[in-house]
Amino acid sequence: MDRSENSLEDAVALLRSMIREACVNTGAADSGQEIRSVRVLQRYLDDAVRAGALDLQVFESAPGRASLIARVRGTDPDAPALGLLGHLDVVPADPDGWQRDPFGGELVDGEIWGRGAVDMLYLTASFAVILREVALAPERPRGDLVLLAVADEEAGGEYGVKWLLREHASAVRVTELLSESGGQRMGAHVAVGVAEKGSASRRLTLSGVPGHASIPYGATSAAYGIGEVLHRLREVAPAIQLGPLWSAFVGARVADPDLAERLLDPVRLDAALPELGRIAGYAHAVSRVTISPTVLRAGDAHNVIPAVGTIDLDIRTLPGTSDADVDELLRTMLGDLADRVEISPLRGWAATGSSTEEPLYGALERAIREVSGAPVVPIAAAGGSDARHFRELGIPSYGFGLLGPEWSYERYRDGVHGHDERIDVESIGLALGALRRIVAERVGARPAAG
Tens-digit pLDDT profile for residues 224-273:
999 999 999 999 889 999 999 999 999 999 999 999 999 999 999 999 99
Nearest Cα to Cα of residue 122 among 390, 429, 436: 429
**Cis status of the peptide bond prior to 120, with omega within 30 of 0:** yes
State whether 184 and 218 are in the same domain: no
State whether 356 and 344 are in the same domain: no
State whether 57 and 116 are in the same domain: yes
The answer as to whether 448 is a domain residue is no
Could you report the per-residue pLDDT of 12-62, keeping only the tens digit for each? 999 999 999 999 999 999 999 999 999 999 999 999 999 999 999 999 999
- Rg over CA atoms, the chain: 24
The answer as to whether 92 is a domain residue is yes
What is the CATH classification number for the domain harbouring 344? 3.30.70.360
State whether 222 and 159 are in the same domain: no
State whether 34 and 171 are in the same domain: yes
Give the C-alpha separation, 279 to 379, whole Å: 13
State whether 234 and 342 are in the same domain: yes
State whether 295 and 427 are in the same domain: no
The answer as to whether 366 is a domain residue is yes
The answer as to whether 450 is a domain residue is no
Range(s) of the domain holding residue 258: 196-349
Q: What is the pLDDT along the chain (450 residues), one digit of tens a residue?
A: 455 678 999 999 999 999 999 999 999 999 999 999 999 999 999 999 999 999 999 999 999 999 999 999 999 999 999 999 999 999 999 999 999 999 999 999 999 999 999 999 999 999 999 999 999 999 999 999 999 999 999 999 999 999 999 999 999 999 999 999 999 999 999 999 999 999 999 999 999 999 999 999 999 999 999 999 999 999 988 999 999 999 999 999 999 999 999 999 999 999 999 999 999 999 999 999 999 999 999 999 999 999 999 999 999 999 999 999 999 999 999 999 999 999 999 989 999 999 999 999 999 999 999 999 999 999 999 988 999 999 999 999 999 999 999 999 999 999 899 999 999 999 999 999 999 999 999 999 765 444
- The domain boundary, picked from 297, 330, 349, lies at 349
- Chain-centroid distance of CA 249 in Å reads 18
Give the C-alpha separation, 367 to 431, whole Å: 10
What is the CATH classification number for the domain harbouring 384? 3.40.630.10
What angle, rounded to 10 degrees, do the helices at 425-443 and 359-372 form? 140
How is residue 178 annotated by DSSP? E
217 CB-contact burial (10 Å; exposed 0-12 / middle 13-18 / buried 19+): exposed
pLDDT at 5: 75
Is the distance from CB of 247 to CB of 264 less than 8 angstroms?
Answer: yes
pLDDT at 46: 98
State whether 371 and 425 are in the same domain: yes
DSSP H or E segment with residue 318 = none
- The domain boundary, picked from 327, 349, 371, lies at 349
CA atoms within 13 A on the CB side of 58: 18
First to last CA, the chain: 10
pLDDT at 175: 98
The answer as to whether 8 is a domain residue is yes
Is the distance from CB of 89 to CB of 151 less than 8 angstroms?
Answer: yes
State whether 379 and 424 are in the same domain: yes
pLDDT at 1: 43
The answer as to whether 416 is a domain residue is yes
State whether 372 and 299 are in the same domain: no
State whether 138 and 236 are in the same domain: no
Nearest Cα to Cα of residue 436 among 366, 373, 359, 357: 366
DSSP H or E segment with residue 177 = strand 176-179
> Could you count the other beta carbons within 10 Å of the beta carbon of residue 342?
11
The answer as to whether 449 is a domain residue is no
State whether 120 and 168 are in the same domain: yes
Number of domains within the chain: 2
Is the distance from CB of 150 to CB of 85 less than 8 angstroms?
Answer: yes
- Give the global pTM: 0.94
- The domain boundary, picked from 349, 380, 410, lies at 349
169 CB-contact burial (10 Å; exposed 0-12 / middle 13-18 / buried 19+): exposed
Give the C-alpha separation, 403 to 87, whole Å: 19
The answer as to whether 216 is a domain residue is yes
